[in-house]
Structure 1
Amino acid sequence: MQDGFGLTILIIFIVAMTAAFIRRTVKDKCLKSLSGYPVVLEIASGKLVWGILRVENTGFELTYDIPHQDVQGHTENSFLLYKSEYDQIIMLSRFENALSSAGAEKRRQTIDKIHHPGFFKRSQRKVANFFNTLKDSVLEVVDLVIGQAKRSSYGSLLASNEKYVSKLKTEVFGSFGTSFEPLLERHIGNRVVLEVKRNGQIHEYCGILKEYTADFIELMDVTHSYEGFTEKWPEWAQKTADLVAPRRLATVRHLAE
């Protein structure tokens, strides 16, 4: 009985530590690529928020370069959007001319690497895609192994701790958020046309397909502007930008030149 209790405590500890590590370290790749840069966030209400982006697993924060005086009289220094509110996102934009010289150079190098990925990068992507393709099959194998183990001498222990085992499985496999899409994969590094639904209309953006995940698509080197926003902030007017849009609204429709 004491051995069983000790094993239960050990399982709970392992699940808690693993889940905490995954939640802290795993972030959406598309959002993460804009982290640390000045970004304009467009949300469904039509509101535009701009600041330095900091991405966490549970959401992100935009820190203003200048404190904002709210109409109610208080001062705001940042804007937080939680993961549960991601359905409000229309688009995130990083404008090239808003970057520092170091940031602009790093961006240029990133574009060059997309066009000419090295051997390690190509191999890493192939392995990741292979795993994502087999993820469902791996889950079935894990369930089969657990089912067989339940019929062993440790079956009662596994049964009593099944919810913790299920949580660990969900945390580990759920953290691999990239959904392999062969149609998109073959166009990584190529110019494509992205259709984005906004207020019942389709808007097209032509740029280099850099990355996609289960939730977002990222394009680089897009000519982009915000109407009604550029009169006060002309630096955002019809400039080169990198975009991240949610896949629920965005679709890669054409290969472009």
Structure 2
Amino acid sequence: MLNAFALTIIFVVVVTVVAAFVRGRRKDKCLKDFSGSLLTLQDTAGKLIWGRLRVESTGIELVYGSPHKDNEGHDETSYILYKQEYPILKALIRYHDELDDEARKRREIELEKTYHPSTLRRLRRKIRNFVNTFRNSVIEIVNLFVGQVKKTGPGGRILVGQDKHVSQLQQELGPASGTAYEPLLEPHIGKKVVLEILEDKKIIEYPCILKEYTAEFIEVMDTNYRIKEDEPVRKADLIVPRKYGIIRHLGE
């Protein structure tokens, strides 16, 4: 029989490996949809960054088309926003008039698939939602089991000393895994909706097509958008944090 120390070491190693594996492969679905596209990043301070999007599990990077000199004369070729900095992100904007012919064709194909999803696409989405819901249920069961073992089981003394690692695994595999099933939004995927965005304490409405949502973001297509009121509107696709934007109405 393995002693308590050996079991503790094995537990720590397993938790660390599983957490690292999941963390290294998890990317937000909305952000992944815009990966490789030329975008404008708008932050809460009004700063605008333009570049081609690269998405990783730990954040995003906008790669400039050419080197840019900052105010101090340094050459910069990209802008990195780490995941913990997402609260300053107000919108990712993909303007249609900035897309090349190939990107425009890909977007039109994706729009058609979103607006008129095939039976297979609907089935894949249902399976994904089922898997996510099932996984979250399993995590809740594991949480309850671990809690009971800590109180009454013979392995409780070992687990009590591993609270940090247990919590880490729960966070990595739990509901915040990039996609949060939302029963109110799910029936409206691929349909015309109205997105409300909070702008300087005012609510602005944007008719659009709901493409995707995750725990952190909402992705919409085919809307008229402008950053400032004195600017002309431009056709665009958007990713907005759910902190600043919500789907308020079903459109027609």
* TM-score, with structure 1 as normaliser: 0.86
CA distance in 1, matches of 2:177, 2:247: 22
From the superposition, tell whether residues 192 and 228 of structure 1 become closer, same or farther in structure 2 (CA, over 3 Å): closer
Whether contact under 8 Å (1:90, 1:198) holds in the other structure is no
Post-superposition offset of 1:22 = 1.6
Q: Residue in 1 aligned with 2:247?
A: 252
Query: 219-228 vs 59-68, which deviates more?
Result: 219-228
Whether contact under 8 Å (2:40, 2:48) holds in the other structure is yes
Q: Residue in 1 aligned with 2:75?
A: 75
CA distance in 1, matches of 2:210, 2:33: 13
Whether contact under 8 Å (1:22, 1:175) holds in the other structure is no
Q: Residue in 2 aligned with 1:183?
A: 184
Could you tell me which of 228, 235, 240 is aligned with 2:235? Answer: 240
CA distance in 1, matches of 2:62, 2:10: 39
Q: Residue in 2 aligned with 1:25?
A: 25
From the superposition, tell whether residues 47 and 144 of structure 1 become closer, same or farther in structure 2 (CA, over 3 Å): closer
Post-superposition offset of 1:162 = 3.9
Which ranges of structure 2 fall in alignment gaps of 5 or more residues?
A: none
Query: 56-65 vs 135-144, which deviates more?
Result: 135-144
From the superposition, tell whether residues 2 and 134 of structure 1 become closer, same or farther in structure 2 (CA, over 3 Å): closer
Whether contact under 8 Å (2:176, 2:215) holds in the other structure is no
CA distance in 1, matches of 2:165, 2:239: 35
Post-superposition offset of 1:100 = 2.8
Amino acid at match of 2:234: K
CA distance in 2, matches of 1:207, 1:85: 27
Query: 197-206 vs 119-128, which deviates more?
Result: 119-128
Identity of matched residues, %: 45
CA distance in 2, matches of 1:120, 1:4: 50
CA distance in 2, matches of 1:8, 1:79: 42
Give the secondary-structure state (helix, strand or coil) at the position aligned to 1:164: helix
Amino acid at match of 1:124: R
Give the secondary-structure state (helix, strand or coil) at the position aligned to 1:182: coil
Whether contact under 8 Å (2:62, 2:78) holds in the other structure is yes
Post-superposition offset of 1:131 = 4.7
Instruction: Indicate whether 1:201 and 2:202 are aligned.
Output: yes
Whether contact under 8 Å (1:26, 1:175) holds in the other structure is no
Q: Residue in 2 aligned with 1:37?
A: 37
Post-superposition offset of 1:191 = 1.0
Q: Residue in 1 aligned with 2:211?
A: 210
Q: Residue in 1 aligned with 2:11?
A: 11
Whether contact under 8 Å (1:59, 1:83) holds in the other structure is yes
From the superposition, tell whether residues 120 and 7 of structure 1 become closer, same or farther in structure 2 (CA, over 3 Å): farther
Post-superposition offset of 1:26 = 0.6
CA distance in 2, matches of 1:228, 1:66: 29
Number of residue pairs aligned between Structure 1 and Structure 2: 251
Post-superposition offset of 1:123 = 2.4
Amino acid at match of 1:113: K
Post-superposition offset of 1:71 = 2.0
Q: How does 1:48-197 map to 2 (within 5 A)?
A: 48-133=48-133, 137-150=137-150, 151-197=152-198
CA distance in 2, matches of 1:203, 1:93: 16
Post-superposition offset of 1:175 = 4.5
Amino acid at match of 2:250: L
Post-superposition offset of 1:240 = 2.2
From the superposition, tell whether residues 71 and 144 of structure 1 become closer, same or farther in structure 2 (CA, over 3 Å): closer
CA distance in 2, matches of 1:196, 1:155: 48
CA distance in 1, matches of 2:230, 2:27: 30
Whether contact under 8 Å (2:70, 2:76) holds in the other structure is yes
CA distance in 1, matches of 2:199, 2:102: 33
Post-superposition offset of 1:114 = 1.1
Amino acid at match of 2:198: K
Post-superposition offset of 1:227 = 4.2
* TM-score, with structure 2 as normaliser: 0.88
Whether contact under 8 Å (1:59, 1:82) holds in the other structure is yes
Q: Residue in 2 aligned with 1:225?
A: 226
